[in-house]
Amino acid sequence: MKKLIKTEAEIKLIREGGHILDRILKEVAAMARVGITTAQFEQKALELIEEAGGRPAFKGYKSDKKSKPFPSALCISINDEIVHGPAVPARIVKEGDIVTLDIGMEYPYVKGKKGYYTDMAVTIPVGNISMAARTLLVGTKESLEAGIAVIKAGTKLSELGAAIEAVLKKYKLGVVRDLVGHGVGYDVHEEPQVPNYGFKSGDFPDMELQAGMVIAVEPMATLGDWRIAPAKDGFTYVTADGSLSAHFEHTLLVTKDGCEVLTQS
């Protein structure tokens, strides 16, 4: 358990990196318009991360030794794509699309030294979107806020998941179960796994959160069934039924009486 607890010095750097990452994502998201390409989002993200003294956490990332390295700094998932859509090769964003921008950064980046990781995501509308799509965005974002509201030292992961799930069910959204949040800070992905539903004992270790833990909470929801499928590109996960999906994420520091949103400047 000790390795999951960050020191004050480490938290200071994670916080600094998270604030920078928030500003970067806001600037990238502000570029959204009909006709922009995913490669244009990617280029801007790369420029801003380098200027900030960071390194893209996702570009070149391999989930295991046999997997292909991820090709971009941004995961850009459009419409029925849930997560892990590569930004390159370029795709054109169209009227009515909903676009998820998922970004991670190692900070500070000094060659030969290890920095600290933060991770965040937002789903944005492009042009006029349907009322159903708007409900999906509102409900998914609200579910993240509900999760944040219950986090404090002593909260169980099942309680956090149940708070998220309750909001998604209120909006009659599908709750993606096969993709979860995670610990973050020393690496892109750490323990614990953070499900977005009130799981039963035995499905996941039902850990009690402790002050000093840093976790990425990231509800993913759909307008249809919760089941997912791998896309042909070998990276992206899509909804199995082709329904729209949304994804919101923040990196959070657990404290004695609540939590601090580190990816919010």
pLDDT at 37 (0 to 100) = 98
- What whole-number distance in Å separates Cα of residue 166 and Cα of residue 262? 24
- What whole-number distance in Å separates Cα of residue 59 and Cα of residue 37? 18
- What whole-number distance in Å separates Cα of residue 177 and Cα of residue 160? 14
**pLDDT tens, the chain, 265 aa long:** 458 999 999 999 999 999 999 999 999 999 999 999 999 999 999 999 999 999 999 999 998 889 999 999 999 999 999 999 999 999 999 999 999 999 999 999 999 999 999 999 999 999 999 999 999 999 999 999 999 999 999 999 999 999 999 999 999 999 999 999 999 999 999 999 999 999 987 889 999 999 999 999 999 999 999 999 999 999 999 999 999 999 999 999 999 999 999 999 9
Residue 57 CB burial class (10 angstroms; 0-12, 13-18, ≥19): buried
pLDDT at 2 (0 to 100) = 52
pLDDT at 201 (0 to 100) = 77
